Structure 1
Amino acid sequence: MSEADRIAKLENAVEQLSRRLLQREDELDIRKLQHLYGYLIDKCLYNETVDLFTNDGEVRFFGGVWKGKEGIRRLYVERFQKRFTHGNNGPIDGFLLDHPQLQDIIDVEPDGEIAYGRARSMMQAGRHKDYADPSNPMMGARQWWEGGIYENTYQKVDGVWRIKVLNYLPQWHADFETGWANTRPEYVPFPTQTFPADPTGPDELIADSWLWPTHKLVPFHMKHPVTGKEIVAERWQGDIDRAQARTAEPAV
């Protein structure tokens, strides 16, 4: 091998290693971003949460889409902050809202500007009886579980990764005392009106929204790493028959 060939080979190896290193650094930065989202929303730091998004970002949540920084602020500050913490940007005594971020899988596009992530949250939430407001249904004493899946999109802006689309799909809810086997229908009602008819509502409604005990696969952003095929799930016909039977049952 000539000296020129050896140099070219080394330069190629350095280029490949640099590209792989940058990809791993991007994955770590995105993972930190997603985990920070969990820490911020845990402590009801809603103003700081909004700052994690791109200016044209959006949040897809509970059957609605909140678009742009204005829409995202409407969700986190005008809706969550006022309902959960009396307008306080930060935790308040007696209110629990833990959002651990788990099982995150990050895939960065070859251009290094867009990335996709899938993660899970297993939330514990509630309000202590000594801090309940019986006159306000949103401020009553209660404790519940929530499990959900994220399928998010991230964008690097001026060298800093931000959330472009936070697509959070709650999978199930349960009262702490009775568990998920007894979850009542519409445990959390989906929005039915958009902004401005609903002052804190979404800009758009999502038609195909569901909650436990309905159970579907949240589509994966990536293909199967071994087979290279799309990851899909069959829909058990018995679920459909059971749902139709419940609908057809006469009222008593």
Structure 2
Amino acid sequence: MSSDELIAALQREVEALKEKVDGLSKKAGLAEDYIAICNLQRVYGYYVDKGQWNDAADLFAEDGALEIAGRGVYKGQARVREYMNNFPKYQRGVLFNHMQLQPVITIDAEAARAKGRWRTFIQIATLGVEARWGEATYENEYVKTQGIWRIAKLHGFITFYSEYDKGWDKGGVKLLRSFKGLEPDAPPTVEYEAWPEVFIPPYHYPNPVSGRPNKGPV
């Protein structure tokens, strides 16, 4: 092999290594983003558990939005904060657990955007007044600004509330569709009813094997 051929071979090897390193770097970046988004959503859940409403609102982008239980859309971090502070203060006799489970995350690294589907298992109680089970499916959006992932849109579809002492076989509690004195900035984007009605929150992703859109039962 001549010196020119050796140089050319080394150059090809270097380019192949560069390409491999670039691919590994992108995969590592996606893994870091996945962990950061999961941590962000789980931190949200811990804050909600303990009524840390301002801390939870801080997790949203400045132009972020919130929509829960068909109550309409609240736009901007300030309105998200106002909405959250409408909930009870965490104190003796108040239970408000919102466990964040089953994440499915899709990331667009170039756009610094992501979407995530989650399930939250809910335990709500006021001592001597009520105790309820609940579940919500989230279809959320996230944005990365200044190297930090934030919630761009939180959309919580409440799929059921049931009285703890009666059980969900006795039916569900009607969704609270509005808060007095706290009007949304836009109407609900999806109209639905919770258990015992049939409703599947829309998926942001297709079937990962068949590639077909998820349309629910057929």
TM-score (norm 2): 0.91
Structure 2 CA distance, aligned partners of 1:70 and 1:37? 16
SS of the equivalent of 1:105 reads strand
SS of the equivalent of 1:228 reads coil
**Structure 1 residue 112 displacement after superposition:** 5.0
**Structure 1 residue 123 displacement after superposition:** 0.6
**Structure 1 residue 4 displacement after superposition:** 0.3
Look up the match of 2:41: 34
Structure 2 CA distance, aligned partners of 1:190 and 1:230? 29
**Aligned-pair Cα RMSD in Å:** 1.6
Look up the match of 2:108: 109
**Structure 1 residue 200 displacement after superposition:** 1.6
Structure 2 CA distance, aligned partners of 1:69 and 1:147? 25
**Structure 1 residue 234 displacement after superposition:** 3.4
TM-score (norm 1): 0.79
Runs of 4+ in 1 over 3 A off after TM superposition: none
Look up the match of 2:93: 94
CA contact (8 A) 1:75 1:201 kept: no
SS of the equivalent of 1:171 reads strand
SS of the equivalent of 1:3 reads helix
Q: Specify which of 57, 61, 86 is matched with residue 50 of structure 1.
A: 57
2:56 paired with 1:68: no
Greater share of residues in strand: 2
CA contact (8 A) 1:23 1:112 kept: no
**Structure 1 residue 199 displacement after superposition:** 2.6
Structure 2 CA distance, aligned partners of 1:145 and 1:214? 17
Q: Amino acid of the residue matched to residue 36 of structure 1?
A: V
Look up the match of 2:182: 200
CA contact (8 A) 1:54 1:69 kept: yes
Deviation track 1:45-94 (CA, whole Å, cap 9, x = no partner) reads 001011000011100112111111222122101x11xxx12xxxxx3111
Q: Amino acid of the residue matched to residue 177 of structure 1?
A: D
**Structure 1 residue 213 displacement after superposition:** 1.0
CA contact (8 A) 1:128 1:142 kept: yes
Structure 2 CA distance, aligned partners of 1:28 and 1:185? 35
Structure 1 CA distance, aligned partners of 2:162 and 2:55? 29
Identity %: 29
Structure 2 CA distance, aligned partners of 1:176 and 1:199? 29
**Structure 1 residue 189 displacement after superposition:** 2.6
Q: How many residues align?
A: 209
Structure 1 CA distance, aligned partners of 2:43 and 2:151? 11
2:140 paired with 1:152: yes
In structure 2, runs of 5+ residues without a counterpart are: 1-7
Q: Specify which of 161, 166, 180 is matched with residue 173 of structure 1.
A: 161
Q: Amino acid of the residue matched to residue 19 of structure 2?
A: N
